[in-house]
């Protein structure tokens, strides 16, 4: 009987320890998030961001995130530019309604963190590294992508005026689930 009790206690200890070790913090994305983009002759925001984020500074190996931006939520401050951005020449929003990011791994850096993952725009998926900080329950990141890697726009006519390098400035306040 003592052996059975001991085995049960050992089993419970292992299960509880494993749960504690792998239990990361799940976060809800606050409505105050900002997804801004800028480049020569192109700037604006995306208004609809959703997804899930699991992140614990003490257990970074179990962190992961999946983020989705609704392309039709683009706002450049100019109705004609918005319409043009949704067209087949740019984002092709009817065919590719979302921009998606899925993490593969996270790492601690000297200035904060990096998340490694796949960014998918217009059906084209590329591995990218996104630097970020996490302060006061807010994820903040500033990085650039080359729009031509994702075939966003062309280099014809007026589209040549838009820089290939697009800067992204992302702020995601979160609260615990």
Q: Could you report the per-residue pLDDT of 58-85, keeping only the tens digit for each?
A: 999 999 999 999 999 999 999 999 999 9
Under 8 Å between Cβ of 27 and 173: no
- CATH T-level topology, domain 25-176: Lipocalin (2.40.128)
Q: Could you report the per-residue pLDDT of 117-145, keeping only the tens digit for each?
A: 999 999 999 999 999 999 999 999 999 99
How far is Cα 177 from Cα 174, in angstroms, rounded to an integer?
A: 9
Half-sphere exposure (Cβ direction) of 62: Cα atoms closer than 13 Å: 14
With tokens 């799940």, the residue in question is: 26
Residue 41 pLDDT = 82
Residue 155 pLDDT = 61
Closest to 171 (Cα-Cα) out of 145, 118, 144, 134: 134
Mean model confidence pLDDT for the chain: 88
pTM: 0.83
Lowest-confidence region among 23-27, 89-93, 122-126? 23-27
């Amino acid at each position: 009987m003592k052996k059975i009790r001991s085995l049960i206690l050992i089993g419970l200890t292992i299960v509880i320890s494993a749960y504690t070790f792998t239990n990361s913090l799940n976060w809800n994305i606050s409505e105050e998030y900002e997804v801004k983009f800028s480049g020569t002759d192109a700037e604006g925001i995306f208004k609809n961001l959703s997804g899930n984020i699991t992140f614990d500074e003490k257990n970074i190996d179990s962190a992961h995130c999946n983020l989705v931006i609704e392309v039709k939520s683009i706002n450049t401050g100019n109705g004609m530019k918005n319409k043009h951005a949704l067209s087949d020449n740019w984002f092709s929003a009817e065919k590719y309604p979302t921009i998606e990011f899925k993490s593969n791994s996270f790492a601690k850096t000297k200035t904060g963190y990096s998340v490694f993952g796949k960014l998918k725009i217009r059906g084209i998926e590329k591995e990218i590294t996104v630097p970020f900080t996490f302060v006061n329950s807010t994820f903040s990141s500033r990085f650039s992508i080359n729009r031509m890697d994702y075939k966003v726009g062309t280099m014809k006519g007026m589209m040549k005026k838009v820089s290939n390098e697009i800067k992204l400035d992302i702020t995601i306040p979160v609260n615990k689930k």
